[in-house]
Each structure stands twice: as structure tokens, then as C-alpha cells.
Amino acid sequence: MDNYEYSEKIKDLQNKLDNISKIINPQQLQTRLEEINTLENNQDFWNEPKKVAKIQKEKNIITRQLNKYNQAKQALQDNKDMFELATLEDDKDTLQEVFDEIPLLEEKIKALEIEVMLSAEHDANNAIITIHPGAGGTESHDWASMLYRMYLRFAEKRKWKVETLDYQDGDEAGIKDVSFLVKGENAYGYLKVENGVHRLVRVSPFDSAGRRHTSFASVQVSPEIDDDIDIVIDDKDIRIDTYRASGAGGQHVNKTESAVRITHFPSGIVVQCQNGRSQHQNKETAFKMLKSKLYELELEKRKAQEENEEKSDIGWGHQIRSYVLFPYQQVKDVRSNKAYSQVDKILDGELDEVIEDVLITRNQ
């Protein structure tokens, strides 16, 4: 890197930071943070738990955005100051250190850009994910289990917690259905872009003739909604069934009908939960899942009306991403229109770049 190339890089990073500053308005955020601190010093403030939870959530988001902005701003300024000093003293070693820091600065600015993109109403929430295999029996069941493992590994790498809500084994391999809760910073904001149909192309390990197969699975992502969001569910619109849990969970879970399935007739949504050790606990969780899915469904309807879209089927022509393992290896996302060759790493949970490219594309 020479001085001219450095100057162009710095100019680009400064422009990005200035654009972010216009969006988040750091001074306004700081003023709001001071207002919240004043509220917290008032003893009466703590008497309303729902209000407290809402404002604490807002405070966490503001604090996180301000910290990332200030760190990026300071790092960029320090780099520019060091460049000027090294240039003045013709210190080539220090100049090289300045040049070497550019990739780290780019990462900081990109992290800040992503943080700003994840500022929609429920982006900071936990995420409820359900994976359904498409047609294809064992092959699609196995593909669903591969996706499940991918998201578990992604959550693990980000130090998020995962709570399995329902898990049904496939008849021969893989899974028939799985629902799980991902708890972490901006979990829904990141994972919402996974909502859609995922396509796999490979030589099937279940085909003795070694033929190539195409499989589909749908991933549904909903925000874990707050209790203060009022979702009305009429008793006549639902059916509640109880059944014996089929998965692991100990002697008590398997010997009693503790698992709960709720069918919502108007929407066709079916949710089920069997991870709890009591029917009451599973019922409570299932209702929370249903409310989250109904809320997400309403958001999807509004978006579809705005964009004149229709809900996708689990099959050809509707996928958001293709994972090709044969005859070549590539992951291609149709929304960002980007292709990735590190298929094994992506299936092992290294999804950050893929997800962030979609987020950036959506916000351009």
C-alpha cells in the first residue's frame, strides 16, 4: 500500500462513518441516554416492571451503538494522526504499521454498519426458529438436520444460547421437524434473513446408485415477542392436543402426555413443545411460539402487500439460498447475488459473511 492508496481508503472509511453518524445521530443518542439515567434515579420509575424492561432494552441498544461508534471514530482518528506523524518524520516502520491497521479499521466500520442495520423494532430480540423438511423423505429430513446443526454451530460461535422447544426424529435419518429458541444480542436481527427456503444439491448418501439429488427445507424465523405486545387468540380458533414426548428428556417426559401441540385454524399455524418437564410449562411455551409466529405472519403480510409478493412454497424457484456440494462446491444467495466457495465452513456455522452481505444488500 502506498500513501495515495492509504488516503483513498481512509477517505472511504471516513465517508462511511459520517453517513452512519447522520443515521444514528450520536449526540441525540447521548442525550437520550442521559434522560434514561435520570429516570433510573427516580425511585418511582422502578414500580412499573414492563416500562422498566422496555427502557432497559432501549438503553442497552443505545449504549452498544454509542460504544461501537466512539470506538470506530477514535480508532480512525488515531490512525490518521499516526500517519501524519510518521509521514512528517519519514518513519517507514510506523507507516507500515498504519497501513497494516486498515483491515482492522474496515472491520470496525463494518461492525458499526451492521449494528445500525439491526435497529428495527425487534432486531434485538431473541429468535424462534422452526425448520421443516420439504418433499423427499429421508433425503430432505437429513438436509433439515444439516441446517439445524449449522444454526447451532453459528449460535455457539457467537456465544448465543439455544433452547430446543420441539424435536421430531425422521423415520430413517435426520429430522421431521425442529423448533428452537436462540437467545443472544441481535439474534433475531441476524437470523431473520434466514427466513425462507434452502436448497441442497448433492450426491445422496442414501442412494445406492450414487445419483445426484436436490432437497429443500424451509426455515421460519420469528422474534420472541415481548409480553407487552398484545396478540389476541380466540379460544374457538385453536385446538390444543397433548401427547407423549418422543425425544430425550428423561423418564418423566416419556411416560406422561406432557408435550403440547396447538393448531391455529385461521392461519394454519401449528406449534408444538415438548422440552419442558410439565404440560403446563410446554403449554405456556407453545402459546408464546404461536404468538410470535402470528406476529411475524402479520409483518410478512404487510411486507408482501408493500412489495406485491406471495408466500413461497417449499420447492423449486422459491429458494433464498442454494448449497451445491456436487458437481462443484458453492453456496449462492439469491438476494445478495453472492457466491461462496467455503461450503464446509458455512455448513459448520460460519454464516456471518453470508448474512451480513444480505443485510447490506437490503439496506443499499
Q: Could you tell me how far CA 219 lies from the centroid of its own chain?
A: 11
Q: Could you tell me how far CA 161 lies from the centroid of its own chain?
A: 13
Give 167-223 as a 3 state SS string: EEECCCCCEEEEEEEEECCCHHHHHHHHCEEEEEEEECCCCCCCCEEEEEEEEEEEE
Each residue's pLDDT tens digit, 285-320: 999 899 998 988 887 777 666 555 555 555 555 689
For residue 241, pLDDT over 80 is answered with yes
Each residue's pLDDT tens digit, 182-221: 999 899 999 999 999 999 999 988 877 778 889 999 999 9
What is the model's pLDDT at position 228? 63
Is residue 275 within 8 Å of 165, Cβ to Cβ? yes
Give percent of the chain above pLDDT 90. 62
Structure confidence at residue 122 as a pLDDT band (50, 70, 90): confident
State mean pLDDT over 233-262.
74
In angstroms, rounded to a whole number, what is the distance separating the alpha carbons of residues 361 and 113?
12
Answer yes or no: pTM beyond 0.85: no
Which of the two residues, 248 and 256, has the higher pLDDT score? Answer: 256
List Cα–Cα distances, 364 to 35, 81, 248, 359, in angstroms: 33, 31, 45, 9
What is the model's pLDDT at position 249? 42
What is the model's pLDDT at position 313? 55
Is residue 266 within 8 Å of 294, Cβ to Cβ? no
Range 118-137 burial, b when 16+ CB lie within 10 A, else e: beeebbbbbbbbbbbbbebe
Each residue's pLDDT tens digit, 61-117: 899 889 999 999 999 999 999 999 999 999 999 999 999 999 999 999 988 988 888
What is the model's pLDDT at position 253? 42
Pairing type for strands 196-203 and 175-183 reads unpaired
Structure confidence at residue 256 as a pLDDT band (50, 70, 90): low
Each residue's pLDDT tens digit, 145-163: 999 999 999 999 999 999 9
116 burial type by CB count under 10 A (0-12 exposed, 13-18 middle, 19+ buried) = middle
**Residue (of 133, 120, 250) closest to 188 by Cα position:** 120
**DSSP class per residue in 70-90:** HHHHHHHHHHHHHHHHHHHTT
Domain ranges for the chain, please list them: 3-117, 127-362
Evaluate whether 3-117 and 127-362 have a shared fold: no
The per-residue pLDDT of the chain, averaged, comes to: 88
In angstroms, rounded to a whole number, what is the distance separating the alpha carbons of residues 291 and 289?
6
For residue 255, pLDDT over 60 is answered with no
- Rg over alpha carbons for the chain, rounded to the nearest Å, is 24
3-117 CATH, one of 1.20.58.410, 1.20.1260.10, 3.40.50.2300, 3.30.70.940: 1.20.58.410
CATH number corresponding to 127-362:
3.30.70.1660
What is the model's pLDDT at position 314? 56
Is residue 112 within 8 Å of 360, Cβ to Cβ? no
Pairing type for strands 319-324 and 196-203 reads parallel
Is residue 216 within 8 Å of 134, Cβ to Cβ? yes
